[in-house]
Chains A and B, each alone.
Chain A
Amino acid sequence: MPTTADAFNAVAEPRRREILDLLAVAERPVGDLVERTGMGQPQVSKHLRVLREVGAVRSRHQGRRRLYRLDPGALRPIFEWVSPYQRLWEERFEQLDDVLAEMKEEEGDGNDG
């Protein structure tokens, strides 16, 4: 059973994010993902396997093809899990933005004078 951390790591990988982006717009077969990402088929299949293992992506058969789609519901716990800590730092950085803006202004004044 994959943990939330596994799911987060699976989704955080940039090439897999690219695949998720494409699947968020439409249900697609592997060939379509290969074409649009420029990755090789083995690589795309490997990423899809990881994403399916953590529940981020589901698949179904349509005739001889297998179609992949995003499962946004499965992504929700991932972001709920990391968001408090990320939010804590985001709020620190927002306050730091204000402090730095003031410091820049003071430094600028010093240079002018």
Chain B
Amino acid sequence: MAMTDERKAKLTLPADDQILVTRELDAPPHLVYRAWTTPELVARWWTAKRGVAKSMEIDLRVGGSWRYVMETFEGQEVAFHGVYREIVPDERLVTTEVYEGAPLPPEQLEANATLNTVTFAERGGRTLVTMLTECPSHEVREMIVASGMEDGLQDALDLLEGVAQELQG
């Protein structure tokens, strides 16, 4: 089956303060939504193979907050939090997101929150996930895109190889 392209997360930059990631998943939207909003399930995928989940708090109501904490295999604690702004079960979530380790004075952290809109669209029993991250500034966008650079070299080479193959297509 020629699914390689569809199964790869696609990243585009629609505006200079935005990041758009799309990915198709082989499950209907109600399951994807559940995996996205249930702490025990989020704990199993959000860590991205980089560590273990320490705490996943989700207060799933408009105005409710969420906070995810993981510990990387290098022993570093990484935490994000935010507030739910819009909730349409099985379809759409809008939340704010703050990276607690951002190199910013504490009083500026909240002001630099991103606004994330995730939609789950049915595609013949599968789900197209679309994640739009709107940043407060171009600089914050650049910081997010470059994040994780320290372990990025091999990833970069892998990706480059994929791109090269695609270009040779």
Contact residues in B for A72 (Cβ distance below 8 Å): 164, 167
Q: How many residues of B contact A (CB 8 A)?
A: 47
Closest A residue to B34 by beta carbon equals A103
Are A103 and B35 within 8 A (Cβ)? yes
Contact residues in A for B13 (Cβ distance below 8 Å): 5, 8-9, 12
- Is residue A88 within 8 Å, beta carbon to beta carbon, of the partner chain? yes
Closest B residue to A107 by beta carbon equals B31
The answer to whether residues A84 and B148 also contact, given A5-B142, A12-B13, A103-B31 and a CB cut-off of 8 A, is: yes
- Is residue A34 within 8 Å, beta carbon to beta carbon, of the partner chain? no
Distance of B10 from chain A, by nearest CB (Å): 8
Contact residues in A for B41 (Cβ distance below 8 Å): 99, 103
Are A79 and B159 within 8 A (Cβ)? yes
Q: How far is the CA of A96 from the CA of B45 in the complex (A)?
A: 5
Distance of B105 from chain A, by nearest CB (Å): 24
Interface size class of A (residues with CB under 8 A): 35 or more
Give the interface segment out of B19-27, B88-96, B106-114. B19-27
- Is residue A24 within 8 Å, beta carbon to beta carbon, of the partner chain? yes
- Is residue B61 within 8 Å, beta carbon to beta carbon, of the partner chain? no
Contact residues in A for B35 (Cβ distance below 8 Å): 96, 99-100, 103
A90-107 at interface with B (beta carbon < 8 Å): 90-101, 103-104, 107
The answer to whether residues A82 and B11 also contact, given A25-B168, A100-B32, A103-B27 and a CB cut-off of 8 A, is: yes
Q: How far is the CA of A81 from the CA of B41 in the complex (A)?
A: 30
Q: How far is the CA of A20 from the CA of B131 in the complex (A)?
A: 27
Q: How far is the CA of A101 from the CA of B27 in the complex (A)?
A: 7
Contact residues in A for B9 (Cβ distance below 8 Å): 86, 89-90, 93
Contact residues in A for B123 (Cβ distance below 8 Å): none
- Is residue A30 within 8 Å, beta carbon to beta carbon, of the partner chain? no
Q: How far is the CA of A81 from the CA of B153 in the complex (A)?
A: 10
Distance of A112 from chain B, by nearest CB (Å): 17
Contact residues in B for A81 (Cβ distance below 8 Å): 145-146
Are A91 and B49 within 8 A (Cβ)? yes
B1-41 at interface with A (beta carbon < 8 Å): 8-9, 11-13, 16, 19, 21, 23, 25-27, 31-32, 34-35, 41
Residues of B within 8 A of A (CB): 8-9, 11-13, 16, 19, 21, 23, 25-27, 31-32, 34-35, 41, 44-50, 129, 131, 142, 144-149, 151-153, 155-156, 158-160, 163-164, 166-169
Pairs A-B, 10 closest by C-beta atoms: A95-B45, A84-B148, A84-B152, A100-B27, A91-B48, A24-B167, A96-B45, A80-B156, A87-B155, A83-B159
